[in-house]
């Protein structure tokens, strides 16, 4: 990346919020991915740089987590800073304190906030009232941190992103939404293969399609699974019942019974197609053990990249 352009992007990102990938340009995402690759290489070589020394990230969790908590907490530590785990049950937001008040109070103590919660409106209200960067660690509508790591993984495996055919199979949930926005911004082609009644939000779909038209990619929503997977470079899925939907498990198993990622489905894809999953996975439901534990699966490379992508994000926004 040209030095002047890189400096300009650094300046653009400093102090920014990270609420959805739709808010970020192709150049900004590319910068974050390059930085993530550099940080990963440094860690592999044992090179220690701590650009966030003395800085503190507050991590608010209204939803439980493995990858989000550990990757952010380890990441801020490796960058020289400190992470504070803030359970909603342990701070006043869990007892009804207004989000705006919480945002203003935490802004006086911290250098950044990561929040993993249910409503996107909660994240947006927090960001609107905070004077420090707010990072969306997950909501029911979006999961942008996961997709930043996904883009890094696809770039590593496929050598680039432009023109890559990504097929997401299953529920049109927060993963589908963020994958559409991220893939379309980077010039990829994405198909969401979901049964009727479980397809992505129409407004987010239209936003992704508008972005795709500008970047030369394509967004498609379909219930024809074999047709969607033909020529796929990447096949991606998620659990059928996300956190908070446990009571719908039986009904969803029935609705998604024809949308399992298995060896037969992979026969429609490119010979070098890879499998991705944001985890945790339910083997025997949305994906067979043969696929997720097989040679085409990159799910643990993908999981590790949560650390590197989020280190890049924190460095850019909080540095």
- The annotation places the binding site for L-ornithine at 174, 238, 242-243
Greatest pairwise CA separation for the chain in angstroms: 55
Q: Strands 165-169 and 134-138: what pairing? A: unpaired
Report the relative pairing of strands 234-237 and 274-277 from DSSP bridges: parallel
Binding-site residues from annotation for carbamoyl phosphate: 65-68, 92, 116, 143-146, 278-279, 306
Decide if 32 contacts 299 (C-beta within 8 A): no
SS (H, E, C) the chain: CCHHHHHHHHHHHCCCCECCHHHCCHHHHHHHHHHHHHHHHHHHCCCCCCCCCCCEEEEEECCCCCHHHHHHHHHHHHCCCEEEEEECCCCHHHHCCCHHHHHHHHHCCCCEEEEECCCHHHHHHHHHHCCCCEEEEECCCCCHHHHHHHHHHHHHHHCCCCCCEEEEECCCCHHHHHHHHHHHHCCCEEEEECCCCCCCCHHHHHHHHHHHHHHCCEEEEECCHHHHHCCCCEEEECCCCCCCCHHHHHHHHHHCCCCCECHHHHCCCCCCCEEEECCCCCECCCECHHHHCCCCECHHHHHHHHHHHHHHHHHHHHC
Just list the catalytic residues. Answer: 116, 143, 146, 238, 278, 306
Q: Prior bond to 280 cis, omega within 30?
A: yes
């Amino acid at each position: 990346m040209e030095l002047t352009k890189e400096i300009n992007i650094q300046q653009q990102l400093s102090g920014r919020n990270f609420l959805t990938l739709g808010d970020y340009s192709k150049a900004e995402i590319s910068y974050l991915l390059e930085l993530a690759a550099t940080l990963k290489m440094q860690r592999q070589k044992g090179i220690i740089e701590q650009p966030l020394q003395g800085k503190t990230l507050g991590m608010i969790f209204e939803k439980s987590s493995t990858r989000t908590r550990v990757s952010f907490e380890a990441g801020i530590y490796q960058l020289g800073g400190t992470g504070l785990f803030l359970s909603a049950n342990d701070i006043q937001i869990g007892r009804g304190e207004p989000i705006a008040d919480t945002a203003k109070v935490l802004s006086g103590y911290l250098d950044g906030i990561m929040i993993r919660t249910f409503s996107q409106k909660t994240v947006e209200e927090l960001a609107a009232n905070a004077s420090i960067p707010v990072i969306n660690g997950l909501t029911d509508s979006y999961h942008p941190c996961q997709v930043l790591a996904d883009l890094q993984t696809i770039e590593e495996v496929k050598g680039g992103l432009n023109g890559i055919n990504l097929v997401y199979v299953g529920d049109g949930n927060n993963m589908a939404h963020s994958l559409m926005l991220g893939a379309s911004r980077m010039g990829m082609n994405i198909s969401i293969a979901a049964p009727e009644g479980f397809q992505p939000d129409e407004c987010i779909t239209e936003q992704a399609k508008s972005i795709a038209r500008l970047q030369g990619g394509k967004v498609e929503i379909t219930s024809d699974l074999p047709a969607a997977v033909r020529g796929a470079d990447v096949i991606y899925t998620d659990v059928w019942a996300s956190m908070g939907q446990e009571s719908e498990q039986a009904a969803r198993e029935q609705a998604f019974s024809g949308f399992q990622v298995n060896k037969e489905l992979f026969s429609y894809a490119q010979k070098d197609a890879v499998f991705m999953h944001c985890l945790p996975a339910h083997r025997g439901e949305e994906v067979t053990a043969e696929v997720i534990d097989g040679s085409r699966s990159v799910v643990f490379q993908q999981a590790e990249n949560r650390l590197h992508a989020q280190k890049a994000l924190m460095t850019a926004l909080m540095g």
